[in-house]
Structure 1
Amino acid sequence: MGRSGRLFSLLRPYTFLFVANSVATLVASVMDGATFVLLIPFLRTLFGQQAIPVGGGSSVERVLAAVAGPLLAAGSPEGALRNVVAVLLGTLVLKNALSYAAAVWSIAIQEGVVRDLRVQLFEHLQVLPLGFFQRTRGGQLLARVISDTDQVKTTVTAALASLLQNISLIVVYVAILVGLSWRLTLIALVCAPLLVLIIRPLVGKVRRRSREQVEDRGELTSLVSELVGSIKLVRAYVAEGFEAQRFRRLADRYRRRVLRAQRYATLTSPLSEVFAGVVIVLIFFVGTRWALGQAATLRPEVLIAFIAVALRLMSPAKSVANYPTAMAGALAAADRVYEVLDLEAEEGDRPGEQPARFAERIEYRDVSFSYDGQAPVLRDVDFAVCRGQVAAIVGPSGAGKTTLVDLLPRFYEPTGGAIHMDGTPITRFTRRSLRALMGIVSQETILLNDTVFANIAYGRSDFSLAQVEAAARAGNAHDFISHLPAGYETLLGERGTRLSGGERQRIAIARALLRDPPILILDEATSALDTESERLVQEAIDRLMAHRTVLVIAHRLTTVRHADLIVVLSEGRIVERGTHDTLFAAGGLYRRFYDLQFRV
């Protein structure tokens, strides 16, 4: 399905409204044309003639006589004129009532389509591979979800409120013109293809410039998003001027590209209007020759009505001529939206996957992994953790520790080997049920701009305040929460900026405790904390680890001395494994780490 087809497939849920809108628009267009046709009986009555000629007249006049002949007929000229004005006013009222209804329905469809597309894009983002988010700037994603989807509304607006209405008007007006004088109409229709040839080269230029324009708009959004997230860094390095210059350069580039696009887009309007003006002058010249003189074949009132309708036709014709250039920006934005929607989803359950269960053992069997075909991050990793045991993963930075634990909840899939749970490869389990078995607490605690309660109960709406408070007490978080302005209803701000690092960690621990998972993953959960915060967090972690199977990553080896198994990674391989005592006695890499922390 092409791009336009995919966009208009979004109208399917709004079929009834679309049909109602189309009917109202068509009838309103007929009413609009009728107001100009009524010029003929108005002019005839004004000049003392019968409102509707008897017998002859153009085909339009014959239709008018059949529809409203008795109403327009009257005994006196004043009565006939009064009747013509009354019919004209009634037609105008009906036409505008229908136009209003069509506009309201059109807006309802537009906003519904944009909402549906936005939700579809947001939901698809949640099932894309994590690698996509690592290589895509956050501001670009924000621009696609908000700005680009809003731009797509232009497509629907142009199709419903503008294109549909203008095409209906053109059809009605051309039918009226043919009914008034098919020969004059033929002159206009013969000239019409020339306008297409004039405008077509401009459309291609506008499309190319519009694509550049929406890309730059995404870059502007990215830069603002980065600034908000790194404002402390900017101020610490007195880089306000540097950032302002970066933004000014990008904003100036965006301005230049908008101007280039608009230079071509705005050219279509004067070109089409001048062209239409030339055609009207040609019709006027030819029509007056046919309406004047002894061999006149066209009555003056019909010529006046023809020119009035032709002049009225200029506006919708110009709008349709401008349609391709007006659509260029919206279609460029739609391309960016569908680029994301066309990416293959990695998340979600597959046929044949079953609910996960954990009773005895987690095993890494010859597991290897690389990101997007790059150099391997893990090589032939092989170890096992029994239920209730604590396995510590240690090693230098870049050894693959975080990647190793990220494979267990299937954030990524191994490129070699497999992870088994109770003898079953975890790829046979649904991701949702597998992750429900796990609680994850990392150094980079993620909190939302929501209440304390909502952050601890994240993702669930069935927890009571008593349950949340109990989890917070166990996580050493209740005391500081109680001193917040609104307690558990306090808004934490963007990324939880109202809290210290240790407080954020304790909120994350309370979040994990509330779910009571059988498996726990701790990724450097106590690093970068001061001594008192580390003590409070460590106490909470000790409660959290009790009676659970734990995989813990830590640089501070005091936190893993009592682990049942310590796995030492270096350059993606296991170089040592065992308990603290055996590894310390072996004098290998683990011993060197320990000596660096406690002996130097």
Structure 2
Amino acid sequence: MNKFLQILIRFIPPYKKYVVGSIGSNFLSALFTLFSFGAIIPILQILFGIESATYSYKEWSFSNSMSEIGSALKNNVFWYISDTIQRQGAITTLAFLGLFLIIATMLKTGFSFLASYYTVPIRTGVLRDLRRDIYAKILSLPIGFFSEERKGDIMSRMTGDVGEIENSVISSLDMIFKNPILILVYVVTLFSLSWELTLFVMVLLPISGYFIGMVGKKLKTRSLVGQQQLGQLLSQIEETLGGLRIIKAFNAENKVKARFAQINEALRHTNLRINSRYLLAHPMSEFLGTVVIAILLWFGGMLILTHHSNITAPTFIYYLVVFYSIINPAKDLSKAVYSIQKGLASLERVDKILKAENTMKEATEPKKLDAFRDKIEYKNVWFKYKNDWVLQEINVTVEKGKTVALVGQSGSGKSTFVDLLPRFYDVDKGDILIDGINIKDTSLHNLRALMGNVNQEAILFNDTFFNNITFGVENATMEQVIEAARIANAHEFIMATEKGYDTNIGDRGGRLSGGQRQRVSIARAILKNPPILILDEATSALDTESERLVQDAIENLMKNRTSIVIAHRLSTIKRADEICVMHEGRIVERGKHDDLIALDGYYKKLCDMQSF
């Protein structure tokens, strides 16, 4: 329950007024419940004629003690009932008591509705806040966090686990706000009616509570296992959808089907055990409650029959009714505890994201970097993802307006080199400077605003051409978008679609060819018009004709701009001001194309093999 209290502390404060309204309404509902039950005593006394005492009106004031006020009010109620019986008869009095019962019940149910009504904004608001916080956290975490996590598992946390929190923890808020108040009011009433019986009950309840607790002990652990298995299942589905072409090409349908069936069966088995244990909570609490009622009936009857208690038979019936009324709130409370235990396992998985440390620290007082004026410097940069160094002793200076090309075999560290500049990762040793300012000393927003990226894989969104090209650029006009598309050789095929720039391109641009996707991506970078360009094999997905046209456009774009280019094609890098040849994380050669050819080293071999 400590973690549930932490949830309340974390998410409830914005909804304090609704909490107060719910608690107040529940308290009033409990009071009117007691009033409606209280009509039982005089009704029984009238029906069975067992009241022989005579009453007279007692004066009282708020200056009296609580016990004196309670005694006076009780006396005056019975005086009024007996006086009404004498003046108007027992039948008329029963009608009045029935009317009182109707009014008290109406108020009880009305306040009960109001209490539940107040919890609706809390439930929906907390869930919205939780989703918002998870999404914001995902956007703020560095890319390195997600390289160690399964995409399907993260999706499972945002959907399955958040849904489980809604179904178990958040849906239990109503019961948590309501049942403890009902139980407290009823227990106080029971003590006022007979402290002997109530003390006897207080001994029995912990025993029944112990057996109920045994059922839910492993519920949280099982739920955690179930959510992890659901994450594996979603990961399997995501990988299958992404690799469907390869699965079919290698006739691996049966293999992936068997793997999915294994995970699916394990999840079914876990959910079977979770739900079986969860469903046991209600019948067990009802059975134990009935056992306690039976023992209480025997013990209370013994006290009355042996005259060892001042409680009368009608009052004992009222006592039993009030006590039995505790059972439902107690059952609901135990059910809520089970639900919370079940949901806390999901909350732990969500908290792995929410409480993940963001290693990408921003400067408390960032230096202003709103323009690029001089040069980019890599000074003795070392970097590793885990254990092995990916980059070692990197020293590169990129002057403004110059183009530096990175070449080398796959795995030599080229993509990592460019990923460090916009701080997708932070260097382990050394510094990266822009105009003499360490990129760690400026804000990420300012830093990345200086750069435009075109990656080897064109990353597009399930939206229109216009929105994909203007992504990240505020207030762009249609004329500017068209101009960017023309430069990227994308305007013609965009206009050939049904709605032109308002045409939706599908999930990840699935309705386009590879070359078309890349040209839309290039148009996006052109529209941003950044002073620094990062081109990671930007023309690799283009056919020969498109490559030539887009290459011309990129070269025009690169004029008077600083560019870092990763390329595997000789045509892309020949005109670079400096070519850096990378091998196993180090720069082993650098210079212009003709100079490197003359060296007859790594670069010459790469050119001969065309294996950039």
TM-score (norm 2): 0.91
SS at match of 1:354: coil
**1:317 to 1:424, Cα distance in 2 relative to 1, 3 A:** closer
For residues 409 and 522 of structure 2, what CA distance do their matches in structure 1 show? 25
- Structure 1 residue 236: deviation in Å? 3.1
Residue of 411, 434, 441 corresponding to 1:421: 434
For residues 68 and 123 of structure 1, what CA distance do their matches in structure 2 show? 63
Query: Which stretch shows the higher mean deviation, 329-338 or 425-434?
Result: 425-434
Tell me if the contact between 2:190 and 2:323 (Cα under 8 Å) persists in the aligned partners: yes
Query: Which stretch shows the higher mean deviation, 149-158 or 500-509?
Result: 149-158
1:384-415 CA-to-partner distances (Å, cap 9, x unmatched) read 12111111100111110001111111111121
**1:535 to 1:317, Cα distance in 2 relative to 1, 3 A:** same
Residue of 493, 501, 508 corresponding to 2:506: 493
2:144 is aligned with 1:109 = no
For residues 19 and 554 of structure 1, what CA distance do their matches in structure 2 show? 64
Number of corresponding residues: 597
Map 1:241-280 → 2, pairs under 5 A = 241-280=254-293
SS at match of 1:267: helix
Tell me if the contact between 2:123 and 2:171 (Cα under 8 Å) persists in the aligned partners: no
**1:73 to 1:229, Cα distance in 2 relative to 1, 3 A:** farther
Residue of 376, 391, 408 corresponding to 1:362: 376
Tell me if the contact between 1:348 and 1:431 (Cα under 8 Å) persists in the aligned partners: no
- Structure 1 residue 66: deviation in Å? 5.2
Map 1:10-25 → 2, pairs under 5 A = 10-25=11-26
Which ranges in structure 1 are unaligned for 5 or more consecutive residues?
A: none
SS at match of 1:266: helix
**1:129 to 1:36, Cα distance in 2 relative to 1, 3 A:** same
Which ranges in structure 2 are unaligned for 5 or more consecutive residues?
A: 59-66
Map 1:70-109 → 2, pairs under 5 A = 74=84, 75-109=88-122
Map 1:59-78 → 2, pairs under 5 A = 63=73, 74=84, 75-78=88-91
The residue number in structure 2 matching 1:412 is 425
**1:234 to 1:105, Cα distance in 2 relative to 1, 3 A:** farther
Map 1:220-299 → 2, pairs under 5 A = 220-292=233-305, 297-299=310-312
RMSD over aligned Cα atoms = 2.7
Amino acid at match of 1:229: G
Residue of 553, 575, 595 corresponding to 1:582: 595
Residue of 222, 232, 237 corresponding to 1:209: 222
For residues 428 and 268 of structure 2, what CA distance do their matches in structure 1 show? 46
2:350 is aligned with 1:337 = yes
For residues 158 and 341 of structure 2, what CA distance do their matches in structure 1 show? 19
For residues 175 and 72 of structure 1, what CA distance do their matches in structure 2 show? 27
The residue number in structure 2 matching 1:189 is 202
Amino acid at match of 1:351: T
- Structure 1 residue 175: deviation in Å? 2.4
Query: Which stretch shows the higher mean deviation, 203-212 or 81-90?
Result: 203-212
For residues 294 and 104 of structure 1, what CA distance do their matches in structure 2 show? 47
The residue number in structure 2 matching 1:4 is 4
Identity %: 37
**1:314 to 1:590, Cα distance in 2 relative to 1, 3 A:** same
Amino acid at match of 2:101: L
Residue of 560, 565, 573 corresponding to 2:586: 573
1:214-270 CA-to-partner distances (Å, cap 9, x unmatched) read 211222222222223223333333433333322221121111112223343333333
- Structure 1 residue 511: deviation in Å? 0.8
Residue of 521, 537, 553 corresponding to 1:540: 553
Tell me if the contact between 2:152 and 2:238 (Cα under 8 Å) persists in the aligned partners: yes
For residues 53 and 471 of structure 2, what CA distance do their matches in structure 1 show? 76
For residues 289 and 341 of structure 2, what CA distance do their matches in structure 1 show? 23
Tell me if the contact between 1:106 and 1:157 (Cα under 8 Å) persists in the aligned partners: no
2:394 is aligned with 1:393 = no
Tell me if the contact between 1:554 and 1:560 (Cα under 8 Å) persists in the aligned partners: yes
1:125-166 CA-to-partner distances (Å, cap 9, x unmatched) read 222222110110011111112222232235643652112211
1:187-235 CA-to-partner distances (Å, cap 9, x unmatched) read 2111111123323333332222122112112222222222232233333
1:541-574 CA-to-partner distances (Å, cap 9, x unmatched) read 2232222111000111111111111111111111
- Structure 1 residue 516: deviation in Å? 0.8
- Structure 1 residue 500: deviation in Å? 0.9
TM-score (norm 1): 0.93
The residue number in structure 1 matching 2:540 is 527
**1:51 to 1:19, Cα distance in 2 relative to 1, 3 A:** farther
Query: Which stretch shows the higher mean deviation, 447-456 or 424-433?
Result: 424-433
- Structure 1 residue 382: deviation in Å? 1.4
For residues 361 and 79 of structure 2, what CA distance do their matches in structure 1 show? 68
The residue number in structure 2 matching 1:517 is 530
Query: Which stretch shows the higher mean deviation, 341-350 or 481-490?
Result: 341-350
For residues 62 and 225 of structure 1, what CA distance do their matches in structure 2 show? 72
1:518-546 CA-to-partner distances (Å, cap 9, x unmatched) read 00000011114322332233233223222
Amino acid at match of 1:365: K
- Structure 1 residue 359: deviation in Å? 0.7
Amino acid at match of 2:314: E
